Structure 1
C-alpha cells in the first residue's frame, strides 16, 4: 500500500534530483535555484514570526475560502492550505533555519565558480574554437548549442557572445522561448523567426524575405523551444550542453540538422555528460542509455538509422 510517508520520501527524492539536474546543466542555474529556495524559506520564517495564533483551526477549513486574501497570513501552502496555528511552528522553524544554513553554504561555494573557473564552460569554449578553426565541412563554422534551461542558455550567451565576436568575428544568438531573443547581428527586427532565419539562411530561404542581409549568425544557443519543427540543416554541428531525461528529446534536437536537404557531407553531435560523482546521484547516463536501447529495439526504418547514427557520435565529459 502506498503510504503518505512513501509519498513524502518520493517527493524528497524528486526535489533532490531536480536540484542536481540544474547543477548538471550549469553552476549558474544551480545558484539561481538555491537563491529562490532560500528566498522562499525567508518568506516562511517571516510568516512564522508574524503568526500570533489568533486564526481559526484546521477543523474550520470547510467553512472558509482558502483564497481569501485576508487569510493569507494565517495559511501556508500552495495547493494544500494549512493553518499555521495547527503546525508545530517551533520545530518547523528549526528545520527551516537548518536547511537555510546548508543552502547558504552551498550557494557560497557555487558562487566561487566564476565563468573563468567554470570547467564546463571552458570545455565548451575549446570545442567552439576547435570547430571554427577545423570545420568538418568546408567553411561551415555553424554550431547549435542546446540546453534544457533558459537560465543556462542566457548564461552561455552572456559569456560567449563577446568572446566569439572578438576572437573569430562571428555572430552569436540565444533563443529560449521565455525571453526575447538576443543576438550580436544587427537586424531590423530581433524575434524568434528572424534569428533562426539568419542562423540557417539557405534552408529558411532568407534571400526571398531579407535579400539585403549578407551576414549570418554562426553560433545559436537555444532551449527545447526549437527542438521540433525547425529546418536548421545549414548547421552541421550540434552540442547538447546538458542531457534531457527523455532520449527522444535528444533525437529531436539532432533532427534539427540531420534533415533532408542538408548540403553537409558530415554532421556531428556532441553530448556533455555529467561527471561520475554527480551521475552517482542522478543516474542520468544509465537512464538515458537504457531508454535509448528500448527505442532502438522498438524502432524501424529511418527512425532506427537516425538512432544508430546518434549512438555513433562523439561524447564529451566534463569535471
Structure 2
C-alpha cells in the first residue's frame, strides 16, 4: 500500500512539474534568423535539422589549438588572435584623452578578448560559416552584398569599431577630459557610464517639428535605463568581465533582444536587425554609449 501511495505521489509531482515547465517559453530567436545556417548554407545543412550545432556541441567540443578552454562547448574552428590587426586611435587628442595614464591606443591588449574570438571564427572570412564538428564548410565569405558575405570583416579590424579595450577606463578618461569631469550620462560627459542602459528612444526638444527651441545649449534627450531603475539591461552586463568591449557588447548573437527589425524604405527583406541591443533607427545603438 505504501508503495502504491508513493508511486501516486511521485506521478503527481512529475505532473505538477510538467505543468509548470509547459508554460515556460525559451527566449530564443535563432531559428529562422541569419544565424540559422540551415537557411543559408544549403550545401552543408545539418542532416538532423539542428540549428545550435553549427556553433555548439553537447559532446566532444572542439579543443582549442592554442590551449584555451572549449568556451561554450564550441563546435566551430577558432581563430588565432595574434593574426589580427586591432583598431588604433589616429589623432593625438583621442590617443590619450588628455590623461597621461590612459593611452587608448595601448588599452586594446587583445582585439579578440572574450566572445569576440568566437564571432570572428565566422566573420573574418577565413573559415567557412557552415563549418562545424570538424567538417569542412562550403560557404566561405568572400565579400559582397549577399547574406553570406556582407558581414565579412576580415582579420584587419583597424577600420572597424574598436573592441578589446577597457570600456570603463575609457569612459572615465573621456568624461574627465570633456569639460567639467561629469560622470553622468549627460552634461559634459562623452561616454555613457556602463551602469546605464541601452538607448530606447529620443525626445526631440522642439517647439515645431525638427526645430530646436530658442537659445543655445539645448539638446535632445536620449531615453535609457537609469542606474536607479529596474528591469533594464545595463551596458556593463554586456561587457566581458564587466569591463571589456567586445562584439557581444552591441550584438546579441541569439537574437533575443530587439528581435523586430526597423522599417526600411528600400527592401525590408535585406534589412536585418544585426542582432543589436538597440535599434539602428535614430542611431539608438550609437547613442547608447556615445553622448552626442
TM-score computed with the length of structure 1 as normaliser = 0.23
Which structure has the highest strand share of the two?
1
Which structure has the highest helix share of the two?
1
